[in-house]
Every structure is written in structure tokens, then in C-alpha cells.
Structure 1
Amino acid sequence: MSRVYTVAVVGGGIGKSHIVEGYETNKDRLKVIAICDLDPIRRNALADEFGIERRVENFDDLLKMDDLDIIDVCTPPMVHYPMVVAALKAGKHVVCEKPLVGSLAEVDEIIELEKTSRGKLMPVFQYRYGNGIEQVKRIIEAGIAGKPYVGTVETLWRRGPDYYTVPWRGKWKTELGGVLMTHAIHPHDIFTYLMGEPKSLFGRVATRVNAIEVEDCISASLEMESGALASFTATLGSADEISRIRLAFEHVTFESDHEAYNPGKLPWKILPRNDATKAKIEALLADWQDVPSRFQTQMRRFWDALEGLGPMPVTSRDSRRALEIVTAFYHSSETHEEVSFPVTEGHPKYRSWLPEGFR
């Protein structure tokens, strides 16, 4: 019989999506027993909706619950680091929304803490999951795609003044960044998940759409470790909303479904260069089994990892890569210099990418 792990969700915003998509669909393995939120109206409404008895205001109360296995951190970014550290030190497993923390130094501290912690950490990158991206990943890993040539990532979303009425959004100290941190971080993670490690980046950021502190437009040119070239573009001022990822390999070109908030699902375009490659792909995918998108598969694979049935689906090192890209963007835009990876201790923005005056 499958073990059922108990979960507390901290933060009722994106936390509701975790419950609906991730825990309700895996309730034979993961059971939410507590809701923690500072807002009593939201806390009680969410608990009532899903029949959850424990309604907690103080995060520290969760650390004392002996029958609680997992703490799922869905709070504003500025409190991720202390909550993740406290939960790991208390021996809990941890799920944490992006961005994991607010600097590369903090990521590295958590990576060290994980080595001695009884609990395991899974950052959230739910856009990795779905039939489309899973098929592309399978084709690439099978060697059918061949040499990677170039790739493009476009995160063209829309956010206006109403979005920034939420007090913590649009501010360096609380959101920790703009479109790079809160929006494009997902498609950029998909890109490196499929195309591998970046070697260098030259980027620019700008604030052109909204009256906020952080950036809402970005563009960059990258060189990958494989030698492939790439470009990233994002804005929060698009008339429509798409997330488009296009990857050109030696034998196959891939393009994501353009759905802004679920690019992992079908249909991805899979364009083989010739009939021989097409036949290899058809044979590889002949017995395909459904991969549900977003949180449903990520949470299921988290359970698998806890049970020793598979690897952790997303790791703190995956989050480090994502935050290295963020750090490189800000440094390159500020200095007009190309940034080489990895970004390590001694780099000017290793301990914080926030501008002077906001740290």
C-alpha cells in the first residue's frame, strides 16, 4: 500500500493551484492537513473549500507538528529563504515556489544544508511537465535530434497596474525582480532543461510598461556549453500572451505550444528533417503513456523521489541555474559586459543582484 505523506500549504495564492492540480490529483499519496496564511479570510476560505481542519497563522507552529511530513512554501519571494531553512532544519521535506531564494549565496547555503538535512527539497518548475515537453526531452535524450544549433525563447505576457496593486509586487525587496524573476524564469528553465548548460550571456533589462521598480522587458544573447546559440526576449506589455520556445537541432526542429501558462502540454511541433528521422521518432513514441501537465506530474514525481522510486524532479541546483541566468542578466545590463557561467563566490552579484539602495 502506498505511503501517504502529509502536507501543509503556506500561502493561499498560488498555493490553491498546488492543492487543485498537485495534491487533489495525487490524494492517494499526498494529503493536505494544514493551511497557513496570514489572511484569516483567505486561510479559512481555502480550508473550507478542501475540508482542511488545521488553520495556522504562525509558520513556526508547522515546524512543531510531528505528524507533518512536507511544508509547501507558496509565499512572496522575500520570505522563501528563512522558511526553507527553518523547515529543513526541522526535518521536514520542502516544496518551494520560484524563485527559491534571493541570491546565489543563499542557494549555495541551502545546497550545503541539504547534505545534512533529513528532509528533501523540491523547488517548483511546473512548466516542465506535460506530453509535449516530455516527448521532446525523450527525442533529444535518445540522440535522434542530433547537434543543437540555435534556440529562441519568447515570454510575451501582459501585466498592468491592477496586477501591481498587490503590495509586494513590483518592488525589489519583496518580489526580488520583475519579468525575469516572476514570469520568464519558467520558459528559461524549460530551455536549459532541453538544451543544457549556458556558457555565457549578454543581456539587457528595462522598465517600459509599468510604473514599478523592477524590470518588465528583457532581451539577451546566449552561447551554450554545446556551442549552440540562443536568444531570450520577454515583456509584460504584449497585447496577447504567449510562451514560445523554438529549438533547431541537426535532425529535428521543435516548437512549443504557445499557451502562455502551460507550454509543456501538447501540441508541440516536432519537425523531422527527413523520413528516416521521422521513422525513428515514431518508433520511439509508439507506446506513449500520458504525462499530465504542470503540478500533477511534478508532485507525483516528488512522491516517487521520496519513496526512492526515481530522482528528484527539480533540484536546488536546477534553481541555481535559473538564478545564475537572472544574476547574469542584471550584471550584464548594468555593466554592458558578457557574463560567463558559472557565477560563483567573488562575483559582484553573488550575494545580491538587487541594485544599490534596495539591498
Structure 2
Amino acid sequence: MATAPAPIRIAVVGLGIGRLHVISCAELKDRYRVVAVCDVDEARAREVAGWLRDVRACTDLEEVLAADDVDVVDLCTPPAQHREQVERCLRAGKDVICEKPLVGSLREVDELAALAEETGRSVMPIHQYRFGRGVQRLRALVDAGLTGRPYVANVDVAWRRGADYYAAPWRGRWETELGGTLVSHAVHALDMALFILGPPVGVWARVATLVNDVEVEDCAAVTLRFGDGSLATLSATVGSAVEISRHRFTFEHLTAESGTEPYANGKEPWEITVPDDDHRAVVDAHVATLPAQHEDYVGQLDRYAEAHATGGPLPVTLDDARTALEVVTAMYVSAREDREVLLPLAPDDPALGGWRP
């Protein structure tokens, strides 16, 4: 009988959203052992360390990197810190998991990819929404050729963020958050759309700051054009009285519409409507063969642990993060210059160095 792989020894750094990472690792107790948590707020680090047994509370990333019992560092720190911290982790011989946005430019993504290859370590960006069973089911139907060609997709992100959210000193500022609702909120829904449709070839966007007194945008309206002629729209705001996230994909042979749960609309229920009775039977039969897997952070971390054990491909790659960030870059350039931006960006395009003004 094969021996089960030893649990991944993980340290979670940044205990805002990182708390959910700690909880997710604890849920996968056969896959992970949280050995350290780290935050500049010592009281917070001690509190979270107390949730589990034998977990060290740290306040300095260097302490994590010096530890021999850390296999993977999970970075959940403010966005502007990611580039330097990922590099430090890789050079210390640690694999890395990193929250979004990974970095502030495509050039930085490429630099980290080169460094990962140089050090023989890996970097997995977090895009947990794509692991909802609803969106996974649709992706399986696309892969099986059962959807037909895409026509139109509609993506809506209507969340609510006010002064209390932006009270964190790093939020709402180009220098530290790296952008506004496009890069901090809508990127989840964008990644889900790209997961289904692939990358676009043209982007036209408008952005505005209408809800909060911040440097960055908090509303956006975007159109995406794909190589097969299909189209998509993305609307995003943090000024909605009712919070929803929604995806609607219109294909040749079926229409798929998500639920509207704002932070979980990748999960079921998704309504898939197939007008043709015979084709509906084929679709239903294929869906019935799909395994039920973990979702959200737990889903991504479970698949990561499997890849870590087998040497298989990561469930989310640097290429995946680069694709989403290239579209985000195009959105900002389009809004600034009032034009359609064609993708992929040219190798000498100055926007490769970042989208911030």
C-alpha cells in the first residue's frame, strides 16, 4: 500500500484574508500542517496561532524564511509588498502561494517566473473563485465540446465598500493597493470569465471614482472582444446597496447562469438551460460523471497539495495570473486613452511596466 505524502508544512503571512487560508489549511488537516503564522500585529499573530496546536506566532517574514520546517510560504500581505516578498521566499528555498493581485505589472510576473525557474521553486497565485462547482461544471462542458461556440457573456460585480474598508492605510491608493475595483474586486469575476472563454483580443474600458474619496477607481464598465468574434461585458462597482456577483454565458447550444451570492457565485446553484431535449440528455449525462470536489480556498489548496505530491501542474499558474493582469492592464490603458487596446500587448509596449499612472 502506498504511503500517504507527509502534510505540507505551511506558514501563512498576513492575517487579514490570511485567516481564511489558515482555516482552509486546518480543514485539509491530512494535506497541511500550519507551523507558523506571521503578522506585523503581534496580538493578531498570537490570536490566530492559538486556533491550532503547535503553531508559532511571528512578526517578521525573515523568521519564517529562516525556519527549516517551512515548505511553503502563503503570502496574504498588502499587494505592494508581494513582489519583494515572493522573491525573498524563492531565494530562501521556499515554494510560494500568493494572494491577488500577484504584482503590479506584467514585467514583474515575468521576472518572478524566471526566478522560480532559476531557484527550482514554484509560485501559485490565488484565484479561488474558479474552483466553485458551478463554474467547474461549465468548464467541463466547454472542454467536452458540449456548449458550442460562445456568443456573449455578461459579468456583474456589485459590492459595497465604504469608509470603514478604506480606513486601512494601504487601501484606495495606487502606491500600495496597486489599483481599485478592477484589480482588487472584479479580478475574481474576470478570472472566472477567462477560465471559461480564454483571453480576449481587444478591451475597451471606462472607469470612474464615484462612491468613495479615494485615489483609485471604484466603478467600471468594460467590453471584451474575443478572437472567435464573441463578446463579453464586465460591470463593477463598490457602491451597490445589494451585493451580488453574477455570470451569464450564452453559447450556441446552451446558456449558463450563476447564482448571485457575492463572494461565492462560482459555487452551485448554476442554471444551465439546454433548448434541445436530445442535447440536454447528453449534457446531463456528462455532468453526472463529474466528481464533487472541494471549492473556494479549500478547493484550490486541495488541488495544490495534490500537485505538490505528484509533481503535476499547479491548479493556478503564473501564466493564469499573467493573463488576468494583462487584461487588467489593457483596461486601465483603454480607460486612460479612450481606445480599444489590442491583446496580447506588444513586447515593447510601455504598459508591460505597469498600469499605475
TM-score tier after normalising by the smaller chain length: over 0.9
Q: Secondary structure at the match of 2:35?
A: strand
1:11 aligns with 2:14: yes
User: 1:148 is matched with which residue?
Assistant: 150
Q: Which segments of 5 or more consecutive residues in structure 1 lack a partner in the other structure?
A: none
Decide which moves more: 311-320 or 55-64: 55-64
Q: Secondary structure at the match of 1:139?
A: helix
Q: Give the Cα–Cα distance (whole angstroms) in 1 for the partners of residues 28 and 292 of structure 2.
A: 15
Q: How does 1:262-281 map to 2 (within 5 A)?
A: 262-281=264-283
Q: How does 1:164-243 map to 2 (within 5 A)?
A: 164-243=166-245
User: 1:260 is matched with which residue?
Assistant: 262
Q: How does 1:67-106 map to 2 (within 5 A)?
A: 67-106=69-108
The answer as to whether partners of 1:154 and 1:242 remain within 8 angstroms in 2 is yes
Q: Give the Cα–Cα distance (whole angstroms) in 2 for the partners of residues 123 and 270 of structure 1.
A: 29
Deviation for aligned residue 1:118: 2.3
Q: Give the Cα–Cα distance (whole angstroms) in 1 for the partners of residues 287 and 271 of structure 2.
A: 14
Amino acid at match of 1:197: P
Q: Give the Cα–Cα distance (whole angstroms) in 2 for the partners of residues 318 and 85 of structure 1.
A: 19
Q: Give the Cα–Cα distance (whole angstroms) in 2 for the partners of residues 81 and 3 of structure 1.
A: 29
Amino acid at match of 1:11: G
Deviation for aligned residue 1:290: 1.6
The TM-score with structure 1 as length reference comes to: 0.96
Q: Secondary structure at the match of 2:352?
A: coil
User: 1:44 is matched with which residue?
Assistant: 46
The answer as to whether partners of 2:5 and 2:309 remain within 8 angstroms in 1 is no
Deviation for aligned residue 1:36: 0.9
Q: Give the Cα–Cα distance (whole angstroms) in 2 for the partners of residues 90 and 343 of structure 1.
A: 33
Q: Give the Cα–Cα distance (whole angstroms) in 1 for the partners of residues 66 and 158 of structure 2.
A: 43
The Cα offsets for residues 39-89 of structure 1, whole Å up to 9 and x where unpaired, read as 011111111122343111111122221221000000000000011111112
Q: Give the Cα–Cα distance (whole angstroms) in 1 for the partners of residues 120 and 225 of structure 2.
A: 38
Aligned-pair RMSD on alpha carbons? 1.2
- Overall identity of the aligned pairs, in %: 43
Amino acid at match of 2:298: Q
Decide which moves more: 334-343 or 305-314: 305-314
The Cα offsets for residues 125-183 of structure 1, whole Å up to 9 and x where unpaired, read as 01011221111111111000011111111101111111111111101101000100110
The answer as to whether partners of 2:294 and 2:302 remain within 8 angstroms in 1 is no
Deviation for aligned residue 1:344: 4.2
Q: Give the Cα–Cα distance (whole angstroms) in 1 for the partners of residues 347 and 356 of structure 2.
A: 16
Among 33, 36, 43, which residue is 1:34 paired with? 36
User: 2:299 is matched with which residue?
Assistant: 297
The answer as to whether partners of 2:330 and 2:341 remain within 8 angstroms in 1 is yes
Among 111, 115, 127, which residue is 1:113 paired with? 115
Q: Give the Cα–Cα distance (whole angstroms) in 1 for the partners of residues 355 and 202 of structure 2.
A: 17
Deviation for aligned residue 1:309: 6.0
1:57 aligns with 2:59: yes
Structure 1 residue runs of 4 or more that deviate by more than 3 Å after TM superposition: none
Q: Give the Cα–Cα distance (whole angstroms) in 2 for the partners of residues 235 and 199 of structure 1.
A: 24
